[in-house]
Each structure stands twice: as structure tokens, then as C-alpha cells.
A and B are shown apart, each in its own frame.
Chain A
Amino acid sequence: RKEVEQDPGPFNVPEGATVAFNCTYSNSASQSFFWYRQDCRKEPKLLMSVYSSGNEDGRFTAQLNRASQYISLLIRDSKLSDSATYLCVVTGGTGGFKTIFGAGTRLFVKA
């Protein structure tokens, strides 16, 4: 079982739709959680951190469920420019520094 698992998709949604991605992690001692965005053939860029209380940044909402060991990303009112791969990132845990990237979920937003 991978330490961080994501549904690879692709998710194909029309403009204006709401779409949600989930990510599960196996290490219960994990400490920090992030969503990164990666455009085709580009480098990953931080989208947002994920906090236990949940956090929102414009159309994006991230949630953390420590009990069930998953994080989620909700995108409301999807734009064409949201088309990208979304990477779930989990850091920390036993054994010191460890950053694990999920393989990513691909999103295509259609006009």
C-alpha cells in the first residue's frame, strides 16, 4: 500500500462545476499536509496548506480528517485554468523528516 494515495482521475468537469478530490495517508504520525498544483510539464507549486480546522482560499477549500487519515480539496465554480494535476503532500511522522507526494489527480475543466 502506498503511503499517500490519490485517485489518479482524470476528472472531466464542465466550467462552473464543483469537484472534490480525496487523498489518504497511512502514517498516523504525519504532521503537515499540503495540496500542490502541477501544470503539464511544469514544476509543482504550493496551492494551499491543510489545517485541522479546515481552510479556504477563494474557490478552494481544504479539509483534514486525522481520525480517518484523509485530506480533501474542494474546488467550486471550476475555471478552465483549474485544469492541472493536484498533488497531495504529507510530511513528518516517525523517523524524522519525510515528505511524501501522492501521484496526483488530473483535472480537466471543459468549456
Chain B
Amino acid sequence: DAEITQSPRHKITETGRQVTLACHQTWNHNNMFWYRQDLGHGLRLIHYSYGVQDTNKGEVSDGYSVSRSNTEDLPLTLESAASSQTSVYFCASSPSGGPPHTQYFGPGTRLTVL
């Protein structure tokens, strides 16, 4: 069955380290998204991609980067981790063309920055 996976599921790192969170989907969806979820804020969009070689900044993109070299993967990199980036990170994907913006989420990565 097609699915969307994230790895690692849990990560503890130190301030200043570079961290990469993986997201892989087998639905062949063109659209992929990264969100963070914090208490009281709901899900906030970090970066998104409409296809290979396409990346766009979301609402809270500072300190994060993504690259899209193939359809299946959208890794999220924290260039220099900060304690404010402790959060739960969700990757999502959706097909082009609809139903409008129905997104399918991965299981999440819980990141702690000490």
C-alpha cells in the first residue's frame, strides 16, 4: 500500500548541530509539505514543494531548508538547531489537482534540541 513515512521518529540533538529529517512518500504525489506543531499554535507551514526542483517558503521557514531532487522525498534540514525548534514535525503530501488540498500526513518526528 502507498504510504508516507518519516524518520527518525524521535531525535534528540544539541544546539548548533545540523539535523536532517527525512520524509518519503510512495503515492507519487507532486505536492509535499513540512509543518511543525506546537501547543497553542496548531500546525504551521515551514516549506512546501509542488514538484521536483521546486521549493517554497512557508510561514515559519527561518532556520530550515528543503530540497526536492525526486518525487518521493522532501528532506527537511535544520542548519543550526536551536531550542526554539524543539517541536513535532509532520510531513504531508497531496496530489496535484485535488480534491483541493487534501493532505496526507506522515506519523511525525518528535525533535528535542537541548
Contacts and interface: CB of A to CB of B under 8 A. Distances in A.
A87 B48 CA distance: 20
B94 to A, nearest CB: 9
Given A101-B43, A103-B40, A103-B41, A43 B101 contact: no
A104 B42 contact: yes
A99 B45 contact: yes
Main secondary structure of the interface of A (DSSP, over half): strand
Interface residues of B, number: 21
Given A99-B45, A102-B42, A103-B40, A44 B100 contact: no
A31 B101 CA distance: 10
A44 B43 contact: yes
Contact of B48 (A43, A97, A102, A103): A97
A69 interface: no
B105 A43 contact: yes
A49 B100 CA distance: 9
A34 B102 contact: yes
Interface in A2-61: 4, 8, 31-32, 34, 41-46, 49
Contacts of A32: 100-101
A10 B101 CA distance: 28
A44 B101 contact: no
Interface of B: 33, 35, 40-45, 48, 56, 90, 99-108
Given A32-B101, A42-B108, 9 more contacts: A32-B100, A43-B107, A45-B105, A46-B102, A49-B102, A99-B101, A103-B40, A103-B42, A104-B42
8 contacts: A4-B42, A44-B105, A46-B102, A49-B102, A87-B42, A89-B101, A99-B45, A101-B43
